[in-house]
Structure 1
Amino acid sequence: MIDTVWGSTQKPVSARQLAEILSLIPNLSGTLYIGYPIIGTPDGAFPFDALLLSPEKGAVAFDLVEGRELGVFQDRQDDLYAKLHSKLLQYPSLVRGRTLAAPIHTITFAPALPGAAGVAERPVTDTTSLPAVVGEIEWQEDGAFPALASAIQALTTIRKGRRKRTISNGDSRGAKLHALNESIATLDANQNAAVVETVAGVQRIRGLAGSGKTIVLALKVAYLHAQNPDWLIAVTFNTRSLKGQFERLITSFVYEQTSEEPDWSRIKVMHSWGSPSSQGIYYNFTKDHELTYRDFRSAQGAFGEGKEFSGATEEALNQVTKVKETYDAILVDEAQDLPSSFLRMCYSLLKPPHRLIYAYDELQSLTNASLPGPEELFGNDASGNPVVEFSAPMLGEPRQDIILEKCYRNSRPVLATAHALGFGIYREPGGLIQIFEQNQLWEDVGYRVRDGQLEDGHFVSLERTPETSPIFLESHSPIDDLIQFHAFSTRDDQDRWLAQSIIYNIRQEELLSEDIVVINPDPVRTRKVVGNARNMLLHAGIDSSLAGVSNSPDIFFEKDVVTFTGIFRAKGNEAGMVYIVNADDCFDSPIPTTRALIRNRLFTAITRSKAWVRVLGVGPEMHALREEFDRVKQRQFRLDFNYPDEETKKALRIVNRDLTRTERKRLDAKVSDLTSAIEALENGDVRMEDLPEALRRRLKDLFGQ
């Protein structure tokens, strides 16, 4: 089966016909790229008309002829061959002696010239002769195809890691982590599409944690920059530490495709908010339109706790009658943590046709807010029609809505545990905390129905498949080593175990300090509660940092330094070994409206891990959380539960409604007053007869007795 990825092309008719014919050839598999790859040459970026990557054929480059003028096709084919051959020779894994391990073929496809033919080495085909010419190409693939695909997709440079590691024990954690990085060598079909396909308008990319959204966006920036060097492109995000990661990835990818450094005057990597000391979408908007800029404190005073950024961006949009259209494309990562008004601000800053690409994973939201669909998100125009409306995908057209179903970071046991705890699948007592609004989304993100029915009011058993959770992510270590929960009697016991484990990881298991991240789910208390463990490491001669406090807010990892962080700064980052401390804070909340919030923090923390997770906590809440994990493990990491009906879903939506901190405090106080009143009645301090008749009637009506 052929997957077609539709990039930018000046030859749409011949490209569409090429895709249709190749899709009909029996037993042909691989990916057909239209308008891709772009290869860096001494003369700059060189885009291909089309390229077929196939384990049966190798690399087949197509020279497309749109009209009836064939031109000097021999020279064009020679040019395609020479440029691709020169690029692939740079990769040792693709070279056998002095010869490429993967064959390169070139074909001219001229559908408007029936019967045209070249010589055997430089064939010219039409719609009738193309299948036979492709059928004659054979390749006895010897394991080189993944390296070939990785080289074409420009992924080889990022798989090398931040620095070279010294491995003396082939079974150590360091060796296993190195092998994992090498195994994640190619993009899947949906990732390919997300990189290359760009609509003339708004595009949404949805995916689980670890599905490659950040890498996809960085590759997409490089592709758009190489294709359109005059475009002004912005990349924005919520987590400040993503800035350095984006700059590193974009630099690598642009160089692969143009043999030049990025033109940073045309690519702007900036935070969503920004400040006078650092660029940001919102800050630049206020400066360019001569508006009052609000920092966090000012916005909180004006709009209330929890409404700071939504209020500031909404205010700015309302104050401008005509927005200066600045950018040709804007790419937004972590959209689930950004308000709808910010996405509308990005849309308003774009020149027609408003190329806005936003990526998100709704379960990683660290607020209770949910991102609405595009029609609701961008509103209606003056005629009452949706400003943005997604249509069904069509052959030859890029997709507006792409779902990345495969997870390349978290193993099946780790990801299923994160989902089970995040949703409260096995929570006792109480059960579900939250649920996907659309049942089908479970299958979209890579689960399959093992038993039951994925319908409201029915039992369902969901499991991840080897296709969506690759086996190599879990086969390197026993399951009991991949993820562990540990309950301690005191915080000191927890911190001592943590420090000793990190010391052992580095000195005995060949992990680098930067392979290790320690996450505290409560962002407010992180600085205070991690100090003890950091002191223990310091006395052992191991340096650590508190992300965004002891270093720049734009830096997350440092060489030879273990990173400690709160959950907000952990977003968008990953590490081989993840320790989550004080996880008992995530078991339950006295205020039901914050249960989903704290479980999302736990989900996000667990899914930072590329290999191993250790969840640590103290007291009875941690024992209960560990027992909840044991129930996940007993069911072989399946999600077995009764799918809620519409009434239950409605109740969950009410419980998870978005409240500010002030509103939560007010609610907490009222619950406390109600609890005191009930206890007074139970203890006999107040008798029902002591209550006014009107109040007794109201209680009877409310409780039915």
Structure 2
Amino acid sequence: MNTVEFTRGTNGKPAASAALEDCLANTIGLDGSCFFGYPLIATPEGKYFVDATFLNPDKGVILFDIVEGQNLGDYADRQDDLVNKIESKLKLHKDLMKGRKLLPQLHVITFAPSLINLASHAQEDYPLANEHNLASLIQSLEWDNADDEIYRLTTSAIESLSSIRKSRSKREVTRVDSLGAKLKKLEDSIATLDYRQNRAVVETVEGVQRIRGLAGSGKTIVLALKAAYLHTQQPDWRIAVTFNTRSLKGQFKRLINNFCIEQSGEEPDWTKLRILNAWGAPGGAERDGMYYEACRQSGTDFYDFRTASSHFGGSNRAFDGACKAALSKINKSLDVYDTILVDEAQDFSPSFLQLCYSMLKAPKRLVYAYDELQNLSGTSLPPPEDLFGADEEGNALVSFAGDHQQRRDVILQKCYRNSRPVLVTAHALGFGVYRAPPKMAETGLVQMFEQPALWGEIGYRVHTGDLRKGARVSLERTDETSPLFLETHSSIDELVQIIKFNSEAEQNDWVAQQIEKNLSEDELRYDDVIVINPNPINARERCAAIRKTLFGRGIQSHLAGVDTDQDVFFRSDLGSVTFTGIYRAKGNEAGMVYVINAQECDGVGAGLSTLRNRLFTAITRSKGWVRVVGHGPGMDALVQEYAQLKQHQYRLDMVYPTDAQLSKLRIVHRDLSEHDKQRLEQKKYNAQELTHALETGELNPEDLDGETRAKLLALLSGNK
């Protein structure tokens, strides 16, 4: 069966490239990966683009010199130059060398589909092909000592990820069975991008592109590499990368910088490629942000957080209101950027994406990446047709229907950060799959995807039952979407632990003791550990006791964004353990994650979906092991839910809610501000008082006027 996967970058030779793709796709028994316009190579003469690179586990690396038209030029010289450049690139990777010999086999072919009479042009030892002889020519190529591991390492080197994805600092391990050794092996195993990630990085869409995926599916690295690739290909373009979590800024800068240096031999031009916070403020380039720049370019009033909060309401309403106010004054395209890439789009209201769209030159290249369940605001992004509106004739400005749908709407199914037990635990607790139904409720579910098919898109399959509304279904991860190597290094009981303590002090002592052990015995580094307090409001207060204990034992720590600059998350330079609230944790990851005071992620009624999303996000920061700890009765439900999940062998077994139940869940567990919650509680209390008065006879139904009685009966029966 033929399984060649194509990634279509730009090489300036569209017709001949299409012919090559057609030939490779129709060569029986051929598999591998083919990149057009990739990789990019730094040379003394400047950056160099390979027309096409084909990787095959039996043949090695086949480089294509593509000729558009019939003029071959000095194709032998081009072939020599091409092989020498790629060989020099690969020889920089020690794992690909044995002594002075390069282990992967390199071949080169000049592909000229418009050339009919090849024999009159061919030179000995310089293969020349068109559509008629390419298949037989490839068949004749050999790799004498073909090796799966060398092939994997070669793929990583071609993708330029082996150095880009390296740890922040060198990992030293002395014991093969320590947590540090296991983490090193994990990091080495995730050195290549899969086909969907590659395609999302290299393929450029003339318009809007959406990248969806689970936590840990590589959305951030894909966006960073895409920004760097576009910048290297189009150095004159103005490109912006923006995001919600300020601590992501350093990660984006490191990834983009490494990629550009490896590809072009030069650092990025940071005046052309900008990494901007979403909001921003006056005070120079470092404080700049997308919203602030939109206001500056359009001459509209700028609202800082305090002013926006007083005008539009606190929390997420402030930024949404500020963006809407700016949009209302912008009546034409601002034409500031050629491309804008937005990470964590689930945390932004539609108005921010619309503002980004308004800042783009035609053809409006906007790339936005998001994870539906990581949304901490309780809202959901609408489909692109609704998100970006319609033109004067009523046609949607953006739609993913049509020939290029797969390129416009990329779904990253594989999770490379969380093992199957960790990810399914996060989903089970995030959705409340095994939560006991509250009194008088039909289901214990906290929230659920509106469209059941989305479970398949994010890498689950049906184990038993039927994936439709109102039906019972059992869902499980596949080995394809949750690679086994992520979980086989440790037992499940080591990967995930959910523990209830009798008191906060007991919890804190245990966490401090475990962190000390991680650093002294388990060979984990300081930046392998994150301690997350899910409640963003009291993180400083709740983390203080553990930090004090650690300090007494000679272990430094910091509260991200409080003890550090707002754009800094890890302090690898100082040797310091990161403590954080949930918002700054987003987008970051570590080998060992402690989620403390998890009892605050349970409850009933309004705001519960947000609390469970915080728990989901905290758990999915772990690329190795996770400890969810808490105290008091609030932890009982979480411990029970996890026990149920284990009994179901880490499958999600549930009756999928109906449309009516989904609607009710959205109302019951909706997000409310603290002020609104207090008002709701007061009204609920008043309702209880009314009920009690009617029960005791203190108040008779007849004491209520007829209209009020009728309204009460209608509302309580659901007939508004």
Asked whether the two chains share a fold, i.e. TM above 0.5, the reply is yes
Give the C-alpha shift of residue 677 in structure 1: 2.7
* Cα distance in structure 2, aligned partners of 1:689 and 1:329: 67
Map of 1:225 onto structure 2 = 231
Out of 76, 79, 82, the residue aligned to residue 78 of structure 2 is: 76
**1:604 equivalenced with 2:612 (yes/no):** no
Match in the other structure for 2:111: 109
Q: Which moved more, 1:18-27 or 1:541-550?
A: 18-27
**Aligned counterpart, 2:366:** 356
In the superposition, relative to structure 1, how do residues 485 and 289 fare at CA in structure 2: closer, same or farther (>3 Å)?
A: same
Partner of 1:214: 220
Cα distance in 2, alignment partners of residues 339 and 226 from structure 1: 31
Match of 1:325 in 2: 335
> Are the aligned partners of 1:310 and 1:341 in contact in 2 as well (CA < 8 Å)?
yes
1:468 aligns with 2:476: no
- Give, as a single letter, the amino acid of the residue that structure 1 aligns with 2:24: L
1:203 aligns with 209
Deviation at residue 498 of structure 1 after TM alignment: 0.9
Out of 83, 95, 100, the residue aligned to residue 93 of structure 1 is 95
Which shows bigger deviation, 152-161 or 603-612? 152-161
The answer as to whether partners of 2:609 and 2:671 remain within 8 angstroms in 1 is: no
In the alignment, what sits opposite 1:50?
52
Instruction: After TM superposition, give the deviation of residue 659 of structure 1 in Å.
Output: 4.4
Give the aligned partner of residue 127 of structure 1.
131
After TM superposition, the structure 1 stretch with the greater mean CA deviation from structure 2, 652-661 or 482-491, is 652-661
* Structure 1 counterpart of 2:317: 307
Amino acid at match of 1:91: H
Which of these residues, 144, 157, 168, is aligned with residue 162 of structure 1? 168
Give the match's secondary structure for 2:55: strand
Which stretch of the first structure deviates more once superposed, 83-92 or 673-682? 673-682
Please state how far the C-alpha of 1:658 moved relative to its aligned partner.
Answer: 5.5
* Cα gap change, 1:697 to 1:440, in 2 (>3 Å): closer
In the alignment, which residue of structure 2 is the partner of 1:535?
A: 548
Gaps of 5+ in 2: 438-442
Identity of aligned residues (%): 51
Q: What code does the residue aligned with 2:296 have?
A: K
Distance in 2, matches of 1:178 and 1:530, equals 28
Distance in 1 (CA, whole Å) between partners of 2:124 and 2:373 is: 55
CA contact (8 A) 1:29 1:56 kept: no
- For 2:225 and 2:563, the matched residues in 1 are separated by 31
Contact 1:522 1:566 in 2 (8 A): yes
TM-score normalised to structure 2 length? 0.95
Task: Please report how far the alpha carbon of residue 650 of structure 1 lies from its aligned counterpart in structure 2 after TM superposition.
Answer: 2.6
Structure-2 residue corresponding to 1:20? 22
Whole-Å separation in 2 of the counterparts to 1:296 and 1:425: 37
Q: CA deviation at 1:623?
A: 1.4
Using the alignment, how far apart are the partners of 2:714 and 2:301 within structure 1? 52
In the alignment, the residues of structure 1 paired with residue 502 and residue 697 of structure 2 have an alpha-carbon distance, to the nearest angstrom, of 37
Q: CA deviation at 1:489?
A: 1.4
> Residue 400 of structure 1 aligns with which residue?
408
* Corresponding residue number in structure 1 for 2:397: 387
Give yes or no for contact 1:368–1:656 (8 Å, CA) kept in 2: no
Deviation at 1:680, TM superposition (A): 4.2
8 Å contact 1:375–1:387 — kept in the other structure?
A: yes
Code of the aligned partner of 1:438: Q
Contact between 1:63 and 1:76, CA under 8 Å: does it hold in 2?
Answer: yes
Q: SS where residue 530 of structure 1 aligns?
A: helix
Whole-angstrom CA distance in 2 between matches of 1:400 and 1:69: 35
* CA-CA distance at 1:690 after TM superposition: 5.6
Tell me the equivalent position of 2:428: 420
Number of the residue aligned with 1:582? 597
Change (3 A) 1:169 1:651: same
Cα distance in 2 for partners of 1:341, 1:68 equals 51
- Deviations 1:602-634 (CA, angstroms, capped at 9, x unpaired): 000000000000001111110111110111111
Q: Does 1:293 align with 2:302?
A: yes
Q: Distance in 1 between matches of 2:476 and 2:28?
A: 32
Structure 2 partner of 1:622: 635
Q: 1:406-452 deviations in whole A, cap 9, x for unaligned?
A: 00000000000111111111110242111112221111111111111
Cα distance in structure 2, aligned partners of 1:167 and 1:147: 22
Superposed CA offset, 1:443-469 (max 9, x none):
111111111111222221111111110
SS at match of 1:460: strand
Paired letter, 2:389: G
1:52 counterpart letter in structure 2: F
Deviation at 1:684, TM superposition (A): 5.9
Structure 1 stretches of 5 or more lacking a match? none
The answer to whether the aligner puts 1:345 opposite 2:355 as a matched pair is yes
Q: Distance in 1 between matches of 2:526 and 2:398?
A: 46
Structure 1 residues 630, 65: closer, same or farther in 2, change over 3 A?
same
The 3 A distance-change label for structure 1 pair 697 and 332 is closer
- Aligned partner letter, 1:46: Y
Query: Contact (CA 8 Å) 2:110, 2:127: kept in 1 or not?
Result: yes
Residue of structure 1 aligned with 2:62, choices 60, 63, 67:
60
Give me the whole-angstrom Cα distance separating, in 2, the residues matched to 1:417 and 1:110.
53
Structure 2: how far apart are the matches of 1:699 and 1:232?
59
Q: Residue 4 in 1 paired to residue 20 in 2?
A: no
Structure 2 CA distance, aligned partners of 1:476 and 1:162?
A: 22
**Conserved? CA contact 1:222–1:257, under 8 Å:** no
CA distance in structure 1 between the partners assigned to 2:717 and 2:19 by the alignment: 70
Q: Quote the offset at 1:389 in angstroms.
A: 1.3
Distance 2:401 2:117 in 1: 38
Q: Distance in 2 between matches of 1:342 and 1:141?
A: 50
CA distance in 2, matches of 1:539, 1:106: 62
Alignment correspondent of 1:458: 471
Hey, what does 1:544 align to over in structure 2? 557
Distance 1:488 1:64 in 2: 66
The one-letter code of the counterpart of 2:647 is Q
Residue by residue over 1:492-541, the C-alpha shift from the partner in whole angstroms, topping out at 9 and shown as x without a partner, is 11111111111111111111111110001110111111111111111111
CA 1:534/1:122 → structure 2, altered by over 3 Å: closer, same or farther? same
Task: Name the structure 2 match of 1:439.
Answer: 452
Q: What's the TM-score once normalised by structure 1's chain length?
A: 0.97
Kindly report structure 1 stretches of 4+ aligned residues shifted beyond 6 Å.
none
- Supply the AA of the counterpart residue of 1:11: K
Cα distance in structure 2, aligned partners of 1:103 and 1:31: 15
> Secondary structure of 1:532's partner?
helix
> In structure 2, do the counterparts of structure 1 residues 704 and 528 end up closer, same or farther at CA, with 3 Å as the change threshold?
closer
RMSD over aligned Cα atoms = 1.8
Counterpart secondary structure, 2:661: helix
Structure 1 63/497 Cα, relative in aligned 2: closer, same or farther at 3 Å? same
2:416–2:482 CA contact under 8 A, matched in 1: yes
In 1, the alpha carbon distance for the partners of 2:483 and 2:471 equals 29
1:670 maps to: 683
The 1:389–1:78 alpha-carbon spacing in structure 2 relative to 1, beyond 3 Å, is: same
Query: Partners in 2 of 1:623 and 1:663 — Cα distance?
Result: 27
Residues 252-306 of structure 1 show CA distances to partners (whole Å, capped at 9, x for unaligned) of 0111110111111211001010112301011112122222211111111111123
- Report the residue type matching 2:491 in the other structure: P
1:304, 1:660 within 8 Å by CA — same for their partners in 2? no
Give, in angstroms, the shift of residue 393 of structure 1. Answer: 4.0
**Bigger Cα displacement from structure 2, 427-436 vs 402-411:** 427-436
* Deviates further, 230-239 or 297-306: 297-306
SS of corresponding position for 2:61: strand
Q: What do the CA deviations read for 1:520-579 (whole angstroms, capped 9, x no partner)?
A: 111011111111111111111111100100110000000211111000000000000000
8 Å CA contact retained: 2:333, 2:360: no
* 1:184-199 equivalence runs, <5 A: 184-199=190-205
What is the DSSP-based 3-state SS (H/G/I as helix, E as strand, rest coil) of the residue aligned with 1:476?
A: coil
Out of 367, 372, 382, the residue aligned to residue 372 of structure 1 is 382
Q: For 1:465-614, what aligned pairs fall within 5 Å after superposition?
A: 465-559=478-572, 560-589=575-604, 592-614=605-627
The equivalent position to 1:283 in structure 2, one of 280, 288, 292, is 292
Distance verdict in 2 for CA 1:697–1:316, change over 3 Å: closer
- Give the 3-state SS of the residue equivalent to 1:522 in structure 2: coil
User: How far apart in 2 are the matches of 1:76 and 1:209?
Assistant: 43
